[in-house]
Structure 1
Amino acid sequence: MPAHYFRTVFILGILSAIGSLSIDMYLPALPSIARELNTNASAVQLTLASFFIGLGVGQLVHGPLADRFGRKRPLYVGLAVYTLASAGCALAVNIEMLIGFRLLQALGGCACFVIARAMTRDLFDTQTAARVFSRMTLIMGAAPILAPLIGGQMLLVVSWRAIFWVLTAFGALCFYLSWRGLPETREGAAGEQHWLATAWHNYGFLLRDREFMGNALAGGVAQAGMFAYITGSPFVFIELYGVPPSSYGWLFGLNACGIIFGSQINAHLLRTRRPADVLRKTNNLVAILGLLMLLVAAFEIGKLPGLMVLLFAYVASLGFSQPNAMAEALNHQRERAGAAAALLGGLQFLAAACAGSAVGALHARSSVPMAAVIAICGVLSWCFHMVLIRRATPQAA
């Protein structure tokens, strides 16, 4: 492979990791944020829910803009908003300000992975795109391993506010890498109708496309289970099982290794198997693992170690489902790749916001709410795939 291929995939992976870094780095700080801002666990969890909502809604705007004005200009605007909002989070004086700046941070940052997915669709065919998404997951997977470790260790010497200053610097770094290292993969379409009219048309087409919606919902709802884990794990691990905040990152990073492990096996499997075949089998596994996790949590089988084994397996299964679901969803969407990538991500993070909010609303001195939401996500993922994909009929572009 030429050097520019690896450079492009590396930068796209870095851009795709901005969401994980923005979520995972401050997870160990959630209890301390609640204490310093004089609020409770449910209110602090709203900083996660608002971020998920921003990611879901913002992508629906960035995708059509990327189809209308080219990939790089909307990316620059998004990164500028993300960087300024990260600084705002660091300066927040109450929970309401933090929730608001987290929303803005997400609205800007979501441009990164919308456009990274659209660029991947611009550059590669479906089979290659699935492998590229798997390789990008190797880079993206480092974020949930390193971010909570870094955040936990930072809390030993500095305030949680320093975490957001680090994210501010990361946003500036992404801006520089995008400017210097990424090609423009689609020029703006100046002669076309207004971008809002185009967006309305494209989203209407995609929402009627059973194959697109089946893959998008199956992958998105399965991943929402991971966000239920992200939302609930700081309180389950730290408050319920007494894990020190500085050690939380090690447990979180261990589970994050699962998605790297799964994604790299997936890349190898795709040399001889179709993405759709791997995805079908993985969706069966996701549902089974979710139900087993609920059983273990309800009867406290194995306590924390028992829960960790199933969390690792669930997260590892996403290394198979996510690259293949994305590649299959974008398969026939070359002319509307930006809108398709946006709707794909929007559905994913709106599902994540629902899952995270449900865990927060059900917050209790138990791991059952977190496990129950994960189980529901796993079963719904299987249902969407069964109902929509198996009955999908090809549509004209």
Structure 2
Amino acid sequence: MSVAALAIDALLPALDIIGLAIGTENSSDNQLLVIMIFLGLGVGPLLFGPLSDSLGRKPIVYMGFVLFIVASFICINATSLEMMILGRVLQGIGLSAPRTISIAIIRDMYSGDYMARIMSFVTVVFILIPVIAPLLGKFVLDHYNWQGIFYIQVLISILVSFWFWRQQPETLAIADRVKPSFPIFKNGFKEVLKQKKTMGYTLITGFVSGAFFVYLSSSQQIFEIQYNLKEEFPFIFAGLAISIGAAIFLNGSLVLKYGTEKLITFSLLGFFGISILYSILFFGGTNPPVSIVILFFAMLFFMLGFLFGNLRALAMEPVGHIAGMAAAITGFISTIMAVPISIYIGSFVVDSAFPLFVGFAICSFISLLILLFLKRSK
């Protein structure tokens, strides 16, 4: 799963340089180099999820890494925004295989709060990558060029594939495999859609992810352009990633003590409250001192750390009998929601971070309404 984070975050310090190389006209267009990989991450599971229920988990991971490597070379040789976007979408489709199948593997082996606990530890690794990825990207950029970032990604994906081949056993028994067919996929989609719990937490994931995607795509613009902190940006990004990782690490213990639903409720309320507070304090759009912005981001991301793994665990709980397909469908729905949300909110982040926090507040408020509906239905 961490290769996806590497492919996204290592590129952040180089967005403006890549934009110049491929001829982007507006600096906001560079956000597409981040956002469009999520489009691939959302669409790809529809192919790889059902195939994993038929062929097993491990072969699908290998297929995804091969596609990712091919797409990386498309990005390396891109000479236009359109070609770069194509490469990034294909990168996302390829990485959707290890990203989705990792969740299916966990669901094959665990359930309930214990599944949430394992998801927390896995996500810690996933989140720790953003701590080092921008620093790695900046190091390669300073000593080589922006294409070198893609070469590093290819090398690491090969090493991860080799480790996965040697260390991870197959978790889907041959007796439990089903032949892929359209009726099976159709029935699986219906099964997911009729589960209120699965759909509710998937929709919340979509809104929360959409808010987070905006930060990922606009963080370089906020800190490097608005605050003129080009050299400091990788360290700021790494520090904020640590705040998410700390919460995810704590979640591994707290989820067994308080339960998944309580942690999600607490975190969504905190996320909404912090976003509203910033929107009130800095209404009008003038950026406060950078230390204040970093403080608010850190508090928000600490709340996010209790959401990602827990939301996926609760969404997957009723559909463990079709874990591969369910992981694909829920991932597709949440990502297809998140991409247009992030593009729309990101278009307002031009000379101030204020629209970002307004977007956070709206997304978390809608998520709280969905959570209230789920609790009443229960």
TM more than 0.5 = yes
Between the aligned partners of 1:193 and 1:38, the Cα distance in structure 2 is 46
Kept in 1, the 8 Å contact 2:114–2:256? The answer is: no
Kept in 2, the 8 Å contact 1:67–1:189? The answer is: no
Bigger drift between 354-363 and 153-162 goes to 354-363
Kept in 1, the 8 Å contact 2:201–2:312? The answer is: yes
Q: Which residue of 1 aligns with 2:121?
A: 135
Kept in 1, the 8 Å contact 2:267–2:306? The answer is: yes
Kept in 1, the 8 Å contact 2:54–2:177? The answer is: no
> Structure 2 matches for 1:1-397, cutoff 5 A?
16-39=1-24, 40-188=26-174, 192=178, 194-244=180-230, 246-299=231-284, 300=286, 302-387=288-373, 389-392=374-377
- Structure-2-length-normalised TM-score: 0.94
Letter matched to residue 260 of structure 1: G
**Residue 296 to residue 159, structure 1, CA distance change in 2 (3 Å):** farther
Between the aligned partners of 1:296 and 1:63, the Cα distance in structure 2 is 45
Give the C-alpha shift of residue 190 in structure 1: 8.8
Letter matched to residue 242 of structure 1: N
Give the C-alpha shift of residue 270 in structure 1: 2.1
Between the aligned partners of 2:250 and 2:13, the Cα distance in structure 1 is 30
Kept in 2, the 8 Å contact 1:135–1:263? The answer is: yes
Between the aligned partners of 2:269 and 2:249, the Cα distance in structure 1 is 20
Between the aligned partners of 1:255 and 1:155, the Cα distance in structure 2 is 22
Letter matched to residue 326 of structure 1: R
Bigger drift between 223-232 and 296-305 goes to 296-305
Bigger drift between 312-321 and 37-46 goes to 37-46
Q: What secondary structure does 1:239 align onto?
A: helix
- Across the two proteins, how many residue pairs are aligned to each other? 376
Kept in 1, the 8 Å contact 2:55–2:177? The answer is: no
**Residue 290 to residue 155, structure 1, CA distance change in 2 (3 Å):** same
Between the aligned partners of 2:338 and 2:139, the Cα distance in structure 1 is 27
Letter matched to residue 243 of structure 2: G
- Structure-1-length-normalised TM-score: 0.90
Between the aligned partners of 1:164 and 1:64, the Cα distance in structure 2 is 29
Unpaired runs of 5+ residues, structure 1, are 1-15
Letter matched to residue 7 of structure 2: S
Per-residue CA deviation, residues 118-145 of structure 1 (Å, 9 max, x unaligned), is 1001111212111111111221111111
Please identify runs of 4+ aligned residues in structure 1 that moved more than 6 A: none
Bigger drift between 230-239 and 264-273 goes to 264-273
C-alpha RMSD over aligned residues: 1.9
Give the C-alpha shift of residue 380 in structure 1: 2.1
Unpaired runs of 5+ residues, structure 2, are none
Give the C-alpha shift of residue 296 in structure 1: 4.5
Q: Identity of aligned pairs, percent?
A: 27
